[in-house]
């Protein structure tokens, strides 16, 4: 296990977040202003939830209605107020014109998306802020609303490391478009191939496919993160002492972002999705290190009852935000989840958040933690694993 000197010094840093549960001190909460509908593109085929409507109507295009955006902003502001009442510093992204079309030498897309879900784009690994490659064309420039904040952190925290992962071409050949046409039986047949709409030729990942457990980072292979993406994260993080593990949830036939599937709440406790069990064998590392899986209850809405334009699953119900190892913010209507967490000794803070769903996520997705009180710890002490190129000197990068 890495050893750390200067723990007190680490506590005074601005950028410092090693896991998903330590006591929260500073966070970015998304904004819904000027959000656009996600366009149809090789990495995504947005569809209406209501099957009957889908026959008659196509998915809308352009700017989302102002009243819809306002309702989402009200709930995002409610989250801000709750966080501030817990003495958490809250920052917001800059406004951005998502209506501008994007044209690069290799692709074109009619509009961009929104700044509601910083989690998808940005991630803090200890003292590093990393911008993901992203997997969809409409999200190619989604780091821009966060750049002013990143510069501020970079100027004010001399220990902060800032990196941007290599941008993929997003050209047609980067995608497997026939994926969208596969019938359900075909998907079941291929579920252990972990081949989705991305090919394996370029480095691709969304930040929300990563989950941070101290020294150990778990990355889901998905429609938004491919194998070279995970390999890139491994080579990037392991020389600094992290251990990067790929994880799979074969029954999720449209996987995208790990935080509705496998959600760590505290040291030793993961909230799991009963419809998306972890691949056989991958649970062993957790069991060997005395982790407990708590199965989330079924969400209060079915997939068909989710908002018409929402492209996420009903499992947004488990997309909770931990503000300490004992305190969890949950969506207000998810009473069975509140009861379960209460039974396991968590304090639950319910807030309404359903109007945010059609913007791509819930409480975890709509946030990006900058600072949590704590240091890098090894929560898998029985793991026998040597990170790529790790040496004592490399590991000391943690306290540069």
Q: Rule CB under 6 A: which residues touch ligand ABU?
A: 208, 256-257, 260, 312-313, 315, 360-361, 365
Residues 236, 257, 338, 364: which is the catalytic one?
Answer: 257
Burial of 170 (0-12, 13-18, 19+ CB in 10 A): buried
List own/partner pairs for 387-392 with CB under 8 A and 24 or more apart: 387/238, 387/239, 387/241, 387/242, 387/243, 387/244, 388/234, 388/235, 388/238, 388/239, 389/238, 389/239, 390/238, 390/239, 390/240, 390/241
Establish whether 364 is a catalytic residue.
no
Q: Is 210 helix (H, G, I), strand (E, B) or coil?
A: strand
Residues 114, 210, 260, 365: which is the catalytic one?
Answer: 365
Smallest distance from the beta carbon of 260 to ligand ABU, in angstroms?
3
- State how far the Cα of 130 lies from the Cα of 153, in Å rounded to an integer: 13
Smallest distance from the beta carbon of 133 to ligand ABU, in angstroms?
16
Cβ nearer to ligand ABU, comparing 27 with 390: 27
Residues 34, 206, 216, 252: which is the catalytic one?
Answer: 206
Cβ nearer to ligand ABU, comparing 170 with 260: 260
Cβ contacts of residue 67 below 8 Å, gap of 6+?
none
Neighbours of 7 (CB within 10 A): 10
Smallest distance from the beta carbon of 372 to ligand ABU, in angstroms?
21
- State how far the Cα of 262 lies from the Cα of 276, in Å rounded to an integer: 9
**Chain position carrying tokens 């970079």:** 154
Establish whether 365 is a catalytic residue.
yes
Smallest distance from the beta carbon of 212 to ligand ABU, in angstroms?
16
CA 225 to chain centre: 11
Smallest distance from the beta carbon of 273 to ligand ABU, in angstroms?
8
Cβ nearer to ligand ABU, comparing 165 with 208: 208
Smallest distance from the beta carbon of 246 to ligand ABU, in angstroms?
18
- State how far the Cα of 169 lies from the Cα of 204, in Å rounded to an integer: 10
Cβ nearer to ligand ABU, comparing 179 with 398: 179
Both tokens of residue 33? Answer: 């202003």
Cβ nearer to ligand ABU, comparing 286 with 315: 315
- State how far the Cα of 240 lies from the Cα of 355, in Å rounded to an integer: 40
Q: Which residues share a beta bridge with 257?
A: none
Q: Of how many residues is the chain composed?
A: 400
Cβ nearer to ligand ABU, comparing 149 with 363: 363
Smallest distance from the beta carbon of 276 to ligand ABU, in angstroms?
8
Cβ nearer to ligand ABU, comparing 19 with 312: 312
Establish whether 86 is a catalytic residue.
no
Q: Tell whether the torsion through CA atoms of 232, 10, 120 and 270 is positive or negative.
A: positive
SS (H, E, C) 237-260: HHHHCCEEEEECCCCCCCCCCHHH
Neighbours of 273 (CB within 10 A): 22
Write out the catalytic residue numbers: 206, 257, 365
């Amino acid at each position: 296990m890495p050893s750390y000197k200067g723990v007190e010094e680490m506590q005074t840093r601005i950028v410092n977040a090693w896991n998903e549960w330590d006591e929260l001190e500073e966070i970015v909460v998304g904004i819904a202003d000027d959000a656009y509908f996600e366009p149809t593109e090789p990495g995504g085929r947005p569809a209406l939830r209501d099957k009957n409507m889908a026959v008659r109507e196509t998915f809308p295009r352009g700017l989302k209605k102002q009243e819809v955006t306002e309702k989402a902003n009200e709930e995002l502001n409610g989250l801000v107020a709750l966080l501030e009442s817990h003495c958490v510093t809250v920052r917001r992204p800059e406004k951005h014109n998502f209506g501008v079309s994007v044209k690069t030498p290799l692709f074109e897309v009619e509009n961009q998306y929104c700044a509601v879900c910083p989690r998808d784009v940005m991630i803090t690994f200890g003292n590093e802020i990393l911008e993901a490659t992203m997997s969809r064309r409409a999200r190619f420039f989604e780091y821009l609303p966060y750049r002013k904040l990143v510069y501020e952190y970079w100027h004010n925290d001399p220990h902060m490391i800032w990196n941007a992962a290599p941008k993929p071409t997003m050209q047609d050949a980067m995608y497997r478009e026939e994926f969208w046409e596969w019938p359900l039986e075909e998907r079941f047949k291929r579920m252990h191939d972990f081949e989705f709409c991305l090919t394996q030729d370029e480095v691709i990942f969304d930040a929300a496919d990563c989950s941070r457990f101290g020294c150990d980072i778990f990355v889901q292979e998905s429609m938004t993160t491919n194998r070279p993406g995970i390999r890139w994260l491994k080579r990037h993080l392991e020389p600094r002492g992290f251990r990067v593990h790929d994880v799979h949830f074969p029954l999720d036939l449209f996987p995208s972002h790990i935080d509705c599937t496998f959600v760590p709440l505290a040291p030793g406790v993961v909230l799991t999705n009963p419809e998306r069990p972890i691949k056989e064998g991958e649970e062993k590392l957790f069991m060997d290190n005395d982790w407990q899986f708590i199965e989330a209850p079924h969400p209060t809405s079915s997939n068909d009852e989710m908002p018409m334009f929402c492209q996420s699953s009903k499992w947004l119900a488990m997309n909770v935000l931990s503000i300490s190892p004992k305190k969890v913010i949950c969506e207000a209507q998810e009473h069975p989840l509140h009861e379960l967490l209460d039974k396991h000794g968590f304090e639950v803070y319910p807030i309404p958040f359903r109007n945010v769903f059609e913007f791509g996520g819930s409480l975890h997705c709509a946030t990006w933690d900058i600072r949590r009180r704590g240091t890098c710890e090894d929560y898998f002490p029985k793991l026998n694993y040597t990170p790529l190129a790790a040496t004592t000197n490399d590991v000391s990068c943690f306290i540069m």
